Chains A and B, each alone.
Chain A
């Protein structure tokens, strides 16, 4: 059974860089699209972008200038970096998986597996 686990500092200072890791266990990261999604507690969901297992990326335009996503296939890990954080970036950050191209013959975009999420607080 595949399991996703987010990890990283729970507290980041304003203007600094947020760095999170999603570790995939019980399966390979190959062939999948790995997404980062965040949720301000009690609020809705915001898609940040995805990284394909090959390393290619698509980011949300609203965050494109501050976000970098990458993968390390040897460690089965996916990474998120977000620069110049502000209080507005405080949220629960989830990694989530999109099925491989081969399942539907196209990049689909539904998130079929989610991690438990990690809460990030931003302080000055």
Chain B
């Protein structure tokens, strides 16, 4: 199984500031033949189900604000929120879909400082 490790476990950022969440995979999730990175990011607000934010490591899902962006290489990925808003308080998860079983990171809890 591909192990997903997020850092930090929790993060407090001031409103309007940048938030950065990291995700490391135990093996490359870059498929050489199509140069795609099989990684997604999700946001889960309290009492809600997860919401897809980013897929293919850097493609924003429809309706997701452009302050959310994703980047990364074969094993190291980053979710960045450029200017934190109050509604961004949530737990964020990365997920690999390079191979089954699909696996998730342990989550990063983002709060307002």
Contacts and interface: CB of A to CB of B under 8 A. Distances in A.
Q: Is the interface of A mostly helix, strand, loop or mixed?
A: loop
B18 interface: no
B100 to A, nearest CB: 5
A87 interface: no
Interface residues of A, number: 21
Contacts of B100: 47, 58, 60
A91 to B, nearest CB: 13
B77 interface: no
A45 B61 contact: no
Interface of B: 38, 40, 42, 48-52, 55, 61, 93, 95, 97-98, 100-107
- Sorted nearest first, the 6 A-B pairs with minimum C-beta distance are A109-B97, A114-B49, A110-B40, A110-B55, A60-B101, A45-B104
Interface of A: 35, 44-47, 49, 58, 60-62, 94, 108-117
